Structure 1
Amino acid sequence: MSSAEHIAEDRAPNGVRPPSRLRQLAAASIGNAVEWYDWYAYSFLAVYFAGQVFPEGAGNSLVPLLSTFAVFAVGFFMRPVGGLLLGAIADRRGRRSALTLTILLMGGGSLLVALTPTYEATGLLAPLVLVAARLVQGLSVGGEFAASTTFLVESAGPGRRGLFSSFQYVSTTLGQLLASGTAALLAALLTEQQMGQWGWRVAFLVGALLSLLGLWIRRGAQETLSPDRHSSGDTPNPAPQAADRPGLFEALRRHPRQSLLICGITAGGTLAYYTWTTYLPVYAQVNAGFDKADSLTVGTLSLVFFALLQPLGGLLSDRIGRKPLLLGFSLGFAVLAVPLLHLVTEAFVSLLLVQCAGMVLLTGYTAVAAAVNAEVFPARVRAAGIGFPYSLTVALFGGTAPYVGTWFKQAGHPDLFPWYVSALCLVSFLVYLTLPETSRQKLER
């Protein structure tokens, strides 16, 4: 049996034939792409529906957009709850159960966004519905990273954890790319007035339908939770015995150092990631007068480039280790974030070059983040151990990136935002210096 095709026989409970590694990879990646399409459609279309849901402040056209990004940040603050609760489900009931639940929640949230009424028609009900939808999606995304990260890394063969981990961001980027491409296509086919009135709703309805596809694909995945953590029943994917199930806060209680380490690993990476992949087109619009439709096109092109880089970064980390890539990423952004963001002008090529340059550096973090996180915790609490500190850090620094950037602009200090990115990446650089190299260590099953 080829090690590139099947999970080791000793991983298969009760003589069940182990699944193909490629099938496991596809199940995780396709479902994850659908999940992140639903999440990212919000940020790409915010400039179109902001005025529909939020009233404009007196004499300030940035108020609806600022309010919309505030809701974007609120969704992120449900992510730690999702990381803890759904991560615990992944550790107690299995990774597949958690992945099935996350995509159901995300699809429901996307449908609710699509059906959000306008402020003109319903008043305060409109922003309340939008907030509720983002809270549901935030819960889903918090659990998604924990469960899918664990599932991917546990499905990998010897010496391939970096490669498999890179598909966390390959699939995330494909979902983001699909969201960006859908938004760009709608913007090209419809007038700006049509986009603001109803065009943006189409993208969220598509997301709800795609979630059903992702659900069907994930139901065919095989559980990766180790056989000795399952009951002795005859079913292929039995649940762990109740006595063996970890407590909700066991990872935090027994592994506080590892939890803090996840926060330090994630802080600079998540801010740089959301700045370059989500907020940069809007940053170019509000700071350099960049055209809305052109910014979506640039975002789409740069995301294609970014997705292609991820497996290369994962393979490189399997050869030379995780730490060199993390150090290169963090030091690169600490030094270059300010000059790169100051190079953004209204010219098409300037934004494209800046976004692609940042994504080369960013790959040093994104290609290995899933592997590094999974290698920090033991299998018993791996999903919940990753989910809560990771999601909390993303909420504090990644989810607030668009809001903080727009707030700096409104306050008259747009030049401070690049320095904010640089400083936090420097903090993560110091954390990476203390990390042990884990790429050659055996992963506990």
Structure 2
Amino acid sequence: MTPARRLRNIIGGSAGNLVEWFDWFAYAAFTVYFAPIFFPEGDSTAQLLSAAAVFAVGFLMRPVGAWVMGVYSDRKGRKAGLTLSVTLMCTGSLIIACTPGHASIGLAAPALLLFARMLQGLSVGGEYGSSATYLSEMATARHRGFWSSFQYVTLISGQLLALLLLIVLQKTMAEPDLAAWGWRIPFFVGAALAVVVFWLRRRLDETSAFIASDANEAPKSSALLLILKHPKEALMVLGLTAGGTVAFYTYTTYLQKFLVNTSGFSKTTATEISAAALFVFMLLQPAVGALSDRIGRRPVMIAFGVAGVLFTVPIMTALSGVDSPFIAFLLAMTALVIVSGYTSINAVVKAELFPAHIRALGVALPYAIANALFGGTAEYAALWFKGEGMESAYFWYVTGLIGLSLLTYIRMRDTGRNSLITHD
């Protein structure tokens, strides 16, 4: 494969990942506006808590999606898995965009919202394993950390675009209109972009690693095979993900609500702070990924673990009492620099742990389980602690999970030096 063709495939796979995550994060970005539409009872915290519960249910579907679509991607090809995942995401976004509010159809409104998030959870559960595997296999060994980091570049880009669209709508629409119907716009946009991505993904090349595995008639991917033959690696993915995912969702999806509900910023200011921090965070990913190609994956992840344990509580405590948007941005940015030690290389580390015939499932399923337990519940847990009057306990909860992951990083081998990806 020529370098130009390889680059085209990486860009094509990354562009699809961006749209997938735009659709996924649009829910989080616009929650403060549509929560009263679907959950009219209670104060603002109660409404956000109900919407966060639906967000968490989407994460609970991710292990199912990871299992079903991970097996599908291992058996039918990475390209096939990527195409199916974007189809499910498009359907979920359309349902959210078109569903009437509680005032019109009663309990059917939150029920349809829940169903749509379940579809999106299935999609994202499969998307992570397929895209992480595709980008890691498509990259060359020398620059695998750099190129695979674009999974989180596009993931963050999707979240950033959702926030930027929110800022544009906040600037151009009256707040009552945005709360009444304007929040539906991003879901229509996401569904339309997903159609474009479907076409792009149909034109991707399959990876040589999958082709070789398929030709060698390797054992068929299944959850039973993963448990029986690769239990250590699966548990390792669970351990290395737990702290990273709760830190990521704390400083990205939850940060916007934290700045409004706790710090006291307006919705517009909180969105602008989050967007600015995410933009710099996005730019950091390739740099840290390239660093891992030079010094190894393990030192980079250990650096995240140590800094996360030491600084999570001080950063969150300072953010809770800050009144300057610039200081809030600096604190958020400091946290995200730390988290980059996980986000930039976690996909390639997982992919390098497994042989090709079970790689997509091995990457996706334990990661999705960890996300369902710790990532998807992060926002709900934070709001629950706040509702109980002990918000600072959440800061220690995040610290504890990062500490758990740090133990995994210390004990694991450096996958960059001992990779099971044997085909470029």
1:79 CA drift (Å): 0.3
Once the two structures are superposed, residues 280-308 of structure 1 have per-residue CA deviations (whole angstroms, 9 ceiling, x without a partner) of: 11111111111101111111111110111
The one of 329, 346, 371 aligned to 1:369: 346
Alignment of 1:158-307 (within 5 A): 158-224=141-207, 225-230=209-214, 244-307=219-282
Q: TM-score, normalised by structure 2?
A: 0.96
Once the two structures are superposed, residues 93-123 of structure 1 have per-residue CA deviations (whole angstroms, 9 ceiling, x without a partner) of: 0000000000010011011111121111111
Aligned to 2:407: 430
The one of 46, 56, 62 aligned to 2:31: 46
Select the structure that is richer in helix: 2
Aligned to 1:402: 379
Indicate the percent of aligned positions where both proteins have the same amino acid. Answer: 43
* Separation in structure 1 between the aligned mates of residue 343 and residue 121 of structure 2, nearest angstrom: 20
1:351 CA drift (Å): 1.8
Structure 1 letter corresponding to 2:24: W
* Equivalent pair of 1:343/1:350 in contact (CA under 8 Å): no
1:244 CA drift (Å): 4.9
Alignment of 1:325-404 (within 5 A): 325-344=300-319, 345-404=322-381
* Separation in structure 1 between the aligned mates of residue 44 and residue 152 of structure 2, nearest angstrom: 34
Once the two structures are superposed, residues 207-231 of structure 1 have per-residue CA deviations (whole angstroms, 9 ceiling, x without a partner) of: 1001011111111110114333336
Alignment coverage as a number of residue pairs: 419
Aligned to 1:130: 113
Aligned to 2:298: 323
1:444 CA drift (Å): 3.4
3-state SS of 2:181 partner: helix
Structure 1 stretches of 4+ with a deviation exceeding 6 A read none
* Separation in structure 2 between the aligned mates of residue 106 and residue 439 of structure 1, nearest angstrom: 32
Once the two structures are superposed, residues 155-209 of structure 1 have per-residue CA deviations (whole angstroms, 9 ceiling, x without a partner) of: 0112111011111100101111111101111111112211110010011100100
Find out whether 1:25 has 2:6 as its counterpart.
Answer: no
* Separation in structure 2 between the aligned mates of residue 434 and residue 330 of structure 1, nearest angstrom: 13
1:346 CA drift (Å): 3.1
3-state SS of 2:352 partner: helix
Q: TM-score, normalised by structure 1?
A: 0.92
Structure 2, unmatched stretches of 5+, are none
Structure 1 letter corresponding to 2:246: L
* Separation in structure 1 between the aligned mates of residue 25 and residue 197 of structure 2, nearest angstrom: 16
Aligned to 2:422: 444
Structure 2 letter corresponding to 1:384: L
Structure 1 letter corresponding to 2:20: E
Structure 1 letter corresponding to 2:263: A
